[in-house]
Amino acid sequence: MTITAAADGSALGNPGPAGWAWYVDDNTWAAGGWKHATNNQGELKAVLELLRATAHVDDDLHILCDSQYVINSVTKWMPGWKAKGWRKRDGKPVLNLELLRELDAALAGRRYRFEWVRGHIGHELNEAADDRARGAAEAFARGALPDTGPGYPGGAPAVTRDAEASATPDTLF
């Protein structure tokens, strides 16, 4: 079986209040965020939390993503970054290193493929993930906690609301 899910991030002000979400259907999704982060951090976290939530199943994962940064990070750039001690071609450190390391670990042994989808054109799954990620960012902008969703059946919950609300991407890991 293949799980098809969209993953998306949102940041108001970029950086600013930020959210992430993954979405399979109305009964299977999760969201969260931070008081201050970037859109790329939200995009990475959405994929990471999808992998964590589905780690207990042995299904292929088809990840719909509107972020070329995430797709290229995982499918093209990560092997080279790792070989160079997590440095880019120009020798500078890779941005979002902790999230990328967590993603690298979560991807180990998984069967997955990414599909790029254009954002904001009405793709049903991508729009649902985007709505939830933006909702999480807006909740943090208001000083509230977001709706974290039902998660994946039998899966690990996302980072707890209390831990995530007081954290930044750099302190989550």
Tokens representing 61? 């994962």
Phi, psi of 3 (to 5 degrees): -90, 125
161: exposed, middle or buried (Cβ count in 10 Å: 0-12, 13-18, 19+):
middle
Find where tokens 């899910």 sit.
Answer: 5
The predicted pLDDT at position 71 comes to 98
So what's the architecture of 2-161 in CATH? 2-Layer Sandwich (3.30)
From residue 15, give the alpha-carbon distance in Å to each of 38, 58, 64, 80, 123: 4, 36, 23, 27, 26
The predicted pLDDT at position 121 comes to 82
Q: Where are the domains of the chain?
A: 2-161
Residuewise pLDDT in 10s, the chain (173 residues): 999 999 999 999 999 999 999 999 999 999 999 999 999 999 999 999 999 999 999 999 999 999 999 999 999 999 999 999 999 999 999 999 999 999 999 999 999 999 999 877 888 999 999 999 999 999 999 999 999 999 999 887 665 444 455 455 654 43
Q: Which residues are catalytic?
A: 8-9, 43, 66, 120, 130
The predicted pLDDT at position 173 comes to 31
CA dihedral angle for residue 169, residue 126, residue 131, residue 25, rounded to 10 degrees: -100
Find where tokens 């093209």 sit.
Answer: 76
